[in-house]
Chain A
Amino acid sequence: MAIADGLTTGCADLQASGGIQTVFIRKWNSTGSPDQIVVSSVNKITSIADSGGSTSTWGVYETKLQTPALSVSGTSVGNANTYECSLTFNLPQLDLQRRTALADLEGECLQVMMLDTNSNYWVIGISDTLTGGDGGLDLPVASHIGTRPQTFARLGSVEGVTGAAFSDENGMTITLTCTQYEFPRIYEPTGAAVSINAAGKVATVS
């Protein structure tokens, strides 16, 4: 892609706010069949769907306010641009429910989406550059090999604390990591917008 024009920085850009509102997580190929990912040439993901369908199901993870943060560190060598991405969030109060939720993430190849406080959906674990296996040959349609990119997100680290004093923090901090070879893409659906069910724990993404 050539450099065709520059960038403007407007008032709204300067009024950007920090933080993540909502974290969405699902497993690659969670139905046992190839996921169907549609990426656009302008660095977006426009559809994430189960095999043969038009939508996918995600877990919605509520977190302690102002704890989730996405960080992206990129390095460029030749034309290999490596982006170490990590999403950290805190789940307050150690309990069985959270411990089980953590176990569900262990050893899994994950897709992670997060809604920032500027209403952008960022995605890590789904990319279309040097994805390994087939080099992203078929990711856009996912009909053959899009289930096996090696640039998935995964559980990186967990830190759980009860604290000691009554006023100490009790909870766990989870870090999901991903090495990809392009900056995380923004999800902007061509279909229906992201919808979260009444219980607030399951999202449907088109």
Chain B
Amino acid sequence: MAIDKGIAISCADLQQIGGIKHILLRDWTAGDIIVYDNADDHAISSIKKAGPANADWFLYEFKSQEANMSVNATKENGSTAFECGLSFMLPQMETKKFAELQNMLTDCMMAIAVDNNNHAFVLGVSEKYANESVAERSQTFLNVGTMEGGTGSAFDDTNGITVNLTCTQYELPREYTGTIAYYTDATPSTTFAATTT
């Protein structure tokens, strides 16, 4: 694809806000259907699971201003690898949080990180160099990279754990342009479920 357009920077671009406000995670599941949008965007317009016309996600809250997404690219010959990271801090270590983190250890995941400018970036779902015949066996999935936490020692130290999820993709993270429905389980929400369509 040739360079076919330039890029304008507006006032709103310069007034951007840092940080992530929502993190949604789900496991890749059999029959997942991903619709990539390459028309004029680098986007994903739809993420659904087999059967229903949506996909289930779960919202992970974190300590405010302590979550970030990182993208680092390296090019070698004709191949460019993007090491993508999603880091978030869970304050106060306890059994419920550890139970969910324990569940992640062997999972092949995807994430949507919604930044504070309302752009929803998808990690662990990519199209380039997809060597699988069905989407569910994507090898560019998101998984646990590292965790780092502790109780601290002084009374006013931080008690919590920082989770770093990583994926290696061969294209930049795509923006999810579909609709996210939050808290789809009940009111008030207990599982913090969400769906994409």
A residues within 8 Å of B by Cβ? Answer: 33-34, 78-80, 130-135, 137-138, 143-145, 147-148, 150-151
Contact = CB atoms under 8 A, between A and B. Distances in A.
Contacts of A135: 21-22, 114, 116
A67 B64 CA distance: 33
Contact of A132 (B14, B18, B63, B182): B63
B53 interface: no
A103 to B, nearest CB: 17
A144 B187 contact: yes
Nearest to A181: B17
Contacts of A33: 188
Interface string B43-84: 000000000000000010111110000000000000000000
A92 B62 CA distance: 40
Contact of A137 (B14, B18, B22, B62): B22
Contacts of A144: 182-183, 187-189
Contacts of A78: 14-18
A135 B180 CA distance: 14
B17 A138 contact: no
A132 B65 contact: yes
A118 B18 CA distance: 37
B88 to A, nearest CB: 11
Contacts of A134: 21-22, 59, 61, 182
Counting chain A CB atoms within 10 Å of each CB, which of B59, B62, B64, B183 scores highest?
B64
Interface string B1-31: 0000000000000111110011000000000
A148 B61 contact: yes
B182 to A, nearest CB: 6
A133 B16 CA distance: 19
A130 B21 contact: yes
Contacts of B15: 78-79
Contacts of B63: 132, 150
A144 B188 CA distance: 4
Contacts of A137: 21-22, 182
A105 B61 CA distance: 25
A108 B158 CA distance: 17
B189 A145 contact: yes
A79 B16 contact: yes
A34 B22 contact: no
Contacts of A79: 15-17
A80 B116 CA distance: 9
Contact of B183 (A138, A148, A151): A138
B94 to A, nearest CB: 16
Top 6 nearest A-B pairs (CB, nearest first) are A132-B64, A135-B21, A79-B15, A150-B64, A144-B183, A144-B189
